[in-house]
Amino acid sequence: MERTVALRQAAAVAGELVAALSALAPALVGEDVPAESTSQSYFRVREVELSDQQAALHGVLAVHRGLEDLCEAPLSGADLELEIAGMRQSVLDLTGAAPGAVPDTVPDPVAPVGVPDAAAGASLESAWSARWLIGHQVHVLFNVCAAVAVADATRRLRDGDGDAALLRLADATVYVRGFPAAMTHASTIPADYYMASIRETMAPPSVDVPLSGRQHRGYKLFRAAMKHLLSVVPDSYEDLAARDPELAEARGALLEADIVDGERHVTLAYSMVHLRRSIAQKPEGPDNAVAELRLMRHRRAAQYASLIRFGDHYVADAVAGLRHS
Ligand code: HEM
């Protein structure tokens, strides 16, 4: 009960922020902006240049929808905390607000704007379908905010502003820890419902190409930012810890969060589709969804093994062996 009350209050505060930001300039109508991919069109995500005010408004709209849905979604307490931390960080980053500013009064809830509708009284099925999109939208918000935080940290490191870089690495880690929480939020729907009703909407003939996680452009932005960071700070954990222990820890926390995200994707896909090939894989291909995601986890863990304190050297050696054979 207390948890739902707190979430309703948070949703009301986000709604108030939406109203205040909309008063400055209204939200863009997403449907009027062409989608860059089938995946964007399906998940109702768009890419467009925005003013700071508009970026804040659209970010807070995603947060507001997410909070409204979290009032009902059976997400674990641990993931709830991680997702809320990501949402909080995104509001701080997008509005430029100082952390810790607490409102005196909690506003009344406002009607959601431009939302996949999971309104009160709607059927459970429509709430689950809306949740699939809402959780993905929060995930995209975290991907883009993480990419910006990592790029900022990299720039600060190149400029020699180590303290600012540490802060932005910590912000990025909050987002990356939020990735699997938002992914799990999207998936707090019965696996039977996913298999029977949602999965087919992500493959032809419902859409022109089968959807795959690989098509998420915000996530690609994040991967590119991580690659650039590691090209600027490629040192092994030991070398970096000797030169700059705080940076070694901050980079390590970010990379660990990235590995765990990969690990959790494996188990999530197993819960949803068991041993099936994904909708994006050829029926005769070598891997199913779980095997493909596991391979991604192993490649990432191998790449990071020497960069973190508790690296997976066992897998790193195996991957290196495979590359040489
Ligand atoms: C809210 C976020 C996400 C959720 C809930 C999610 C969930 C899932 C599920 C349920 C599957 C099995 C698909 C099926 O066969 O029905 C899957 C597969 C997969 N996901 Fe994700 N995913 C998310 C984001 C991402 C992202 C950002 C990537 C980026 C690399 C990704 C990469 C993959 C890959 C490679 C597969 C297996 C093969 C394929 O479908 O291409 N996913 N995911």
280 Cβ closer than 6 Å to some ligand 1 atom: yes
Q: Which atom of ligand 1 is nearest to the CA of 287?
A: 38
Side-chain half-sphere CA neighbours of 98 within 13 A = 3
Q: How far apart are CA 198 and CA 216, in angstroms?
A: 18
Q: How far apart are CA 57 and CA 39, in angstroms?
A: 23
Q: How far apart are CA 88 and CA 96, in angstroms?
A: 12
pLDDT in tens, 182-213: 999 999 999 999 999 999 999 999 999 999 88
140 Cβ closer than 6 Å to some ligand 1 atom: no
Ligand 1, atom 17: nearest CA belongs to which residue? 269
Question: Ligand 1 centre from 320 Cα, in Å?
Answer: 26
135 Cβ closer than 6 Å to some ligand 1 atom: yes
Question: Ligand 1 centre from 98 Cα, in Å?
Answer: 35
274 Cβ closer than 6 Å to some ligand 1 atom: no
pLDDT in tens, 238-297: 999 999 999 999 999 999 999 999 999 999 999 999 999 999 988 887 889 999 999 999
* Unique residue bearing structure tokens 């490629």: 234
Question: Ligand 1 centre from 270 Cα, in Å?
Answer: 11
Q: How far apart are CA 153 and CA 319, in angstroms?
A: 29
pLDDT at 113: 46
278 Cβ closer than 6 Å to some ligand 1 atom: yes
Question: Ligand 1 centre from 290 Cα, in Å?
Answer: 10
List the pLDDT tens digit at each of the 325 positions of the chain: 699 999 999 999 999 999 999 999 999 999 999 999 999 999 999 999 999 999 999 999 999 999 999 999 999 999 999 999 999 999 999 999 877 665 656 555 555 444 455 555 579 999 999 999 999 999 999 999 999 999 999 999 999 999 999 999 999 999 999 999 999 999 999 999 999 999 999 999 999 999 988 889 999 999 999 999 999 999 999 999 999 999 999 999 999 999 999 999 999 999 999 999 999 988 887 889 999 999 999 999 999 999 999 999 999 999 898 887 7
Three-point CA angle 239, 176, 11, nearest 5°: 150
pLDDT at 296: 95
Q: Which atom of ligand 1 is nearest to the CA of 202?
A: 16
Q: In three state form, how does the secondary structure of the chain look?
A: CHHHHHHHHHHHHHHHHHHHHHHHCCCCCHHHCCCCCHHHHHHCCCCCCCCHHHHHHHHHHHHHHHHHHHCCCCCCHHHHHHHHHHHHHHHHHHHCCCCCCCCCCCCCCCCCCCCCCCCCCCCHHHHHHHHHHHHHHHHHHHHHHHHHHHHHHHHHHHHCCHHHHHHHHHHHHHHHHHHHHHHHHHCCCCHHHHHHHHHHHHCCCCCCCCCCHHHCHHHHHHHHHHHHHHHHCCCCHHHHHHHCHHHHHHHHHHHHHHHHHHHHHHHHHHHHHCCCCCCCCCCCCCCCHHHHHHHHHHHHHHHHCCCCCCCCHHHHHHHHHHHHC
Domain spans, the chain: 1-100+120-231, 233-325
Give CA separation, 236 vs 72, 135, 240, in Å: 44, 35, 6
The two structure tokens encoding residue 165: 């870089």
Judge if the upstream peptide bond of residue 205 is cis by omega within 30 degrees of 0. Answer: yes
Long-range contacts, stretch 26-34, CB < 8 angstroms, 24+ apart: 27/54, 27/57, 27/58, 27/61, 27/113, 27/114, 28/54, 28/58, 29/114, 30/114
Q: Using an 8 Å Cβ cutoff, are 135 and 187 in contact?
A: yes
pLDDT at 285: 78
